């Protein structure tokens, strides 16, 4: 499906309780979400036919909507069932899953108290987020101009569509310069995250990662921390300043799309994927595989 437009594919998309032919899953141009960013979403992966931490993602979708002052009209269990149905009816085993909830088109203006809340779920085959040949060597990151906003000025705990505009701009600029992605600082100039993934560093055998207080505490981030501690690695969540980037030996990023991806370069700083990174990649791969049920 490489290069195929996302609005012109075969398959089925679940939308407001119905499975629709892929090309028929449409919204009106005067939908509130398109004009005011009033939409939330999740990115999930299915491995062997099972969505990894599906319920946790469904609960976060509902919480993201609540932060944006609307309620998804389906329970987490109903969302889980709809996602499983989308996988089944499309015949997918390993796939990326994208639930999206948004305000509809009854009212057009900043206020949209009476707009219908819609939910759609699509899935498609999406292998590695980065070039597989480059990925295990360590991807290259630029340093973004835009910063993650002060949480007093934006709903940073929500996976809100509008918060990703500065990510798109930053990733575009990085790609034009030959980088795979960009590292973003926060509003106080501290290391935050990449445009769609959390970041980790290794220093003297310990893992360091920025405190997730102005950006999303990713589900893959949480999983990586759990796996590291299970291995006995020390994990330190703290403020990390840009002038520390030269002091780390390894770096990797985490996200549903990125999974665990080594970083080889951030601007002028270079890293070599090492034992801790490779161990966590292997552990994550084992963790996401569906567990065999006892006979």
The catalytic residues are 159
Give the strand pairing for 18-21 and 206-210: unpaired
Q: Which long-range contacts (CB under 8 A, 24 or more apart) does 240-248 make?
A: 240/190, 240/191, 240/201, 240/208, 240/209, 240/210, 241/189, 241/190, 241/191, 242/143, 242/185, 242/189, 242/190, 242/191, 244/191, 245/191, 245/201, 245/269, 247/203, 248/201, 248/202, 248/203, 248/208
Q: Which residue has the tokens 């959390």?
A: 198
SS3 call for 128:
coil
DSSP secondary structure letters along 86-117:
HHHHHT-SSEEEEEEEEE-SS--SS--TTPPE
What burial letters (b/e) apply to 262-290, b meaning 16+ CB within 10 Å? Answer: bbbbbeebebebeebbeebbebbeebbee
SS3 call for 72:
coil
Exposed/middle/buried for residue 81 (C-beta within 10 Å: 0-12, 13-18, 19+):
middle
């Amino acid at each position: 499906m490489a290069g195929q437009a996302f609005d012109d594919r075969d398959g089925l998309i679940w939308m407001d309780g119905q499975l629709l032919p892929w090309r028929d899953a449409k919204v009106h141009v005067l939908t509130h979400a398109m004009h005011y960013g009033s939409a939330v979403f999740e990115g999930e992966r299915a491995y062997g036919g099972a969505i990894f931490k599906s319920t946790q993602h469904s609960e976060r979708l509902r919480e993201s909507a609540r932060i944006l002052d609307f309620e998804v009209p389906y329970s987490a269990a109903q969302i889980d069932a709809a996602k499983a149905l989308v996988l089944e009816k499309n015949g997918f085993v390993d796939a990326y899953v994208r639930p999206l909830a948004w305000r509809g088109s009854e009212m057009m203006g900043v206020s949209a108290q009476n707009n219908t809340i819609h939910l759609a779920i699509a899935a498609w085959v999406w292998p590695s987020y980065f070039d597989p040949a480059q990925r295990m060597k360590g991807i290259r990151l630029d340093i973004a101009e835009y910063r993650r906003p002060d949480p007093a000025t934006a709903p940073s705990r929500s996976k809100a569509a509008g918060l990703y505009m500065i990510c798109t701009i930053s990733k575009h600029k990085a790609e034009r310069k030959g980088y795979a992605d960009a590292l973003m600082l926060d509003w106080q100039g501290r290391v935050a995250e990449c445009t769609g993934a959390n970041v980790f560093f290794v220093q003297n055998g310990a893992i360091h990662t920025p405190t997730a207080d102005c950006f999303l505490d990713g589900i893959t981030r949480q999983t990586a921390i759990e796996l590291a501690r299970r291995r006995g690695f020390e994990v330190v969540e703290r403020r990390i300043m840009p002038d520390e980037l030269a002091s780390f030996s390894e770096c990797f990023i985490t996200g549903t799309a990125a999974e665990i991806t080594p970083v080889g370069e951030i601007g002028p700083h270079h890293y070599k994927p090492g034992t801790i990174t490779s161990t966590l990649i292997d552990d994550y791969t084992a963790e996401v595989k569906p567990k065999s049920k006892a006979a």
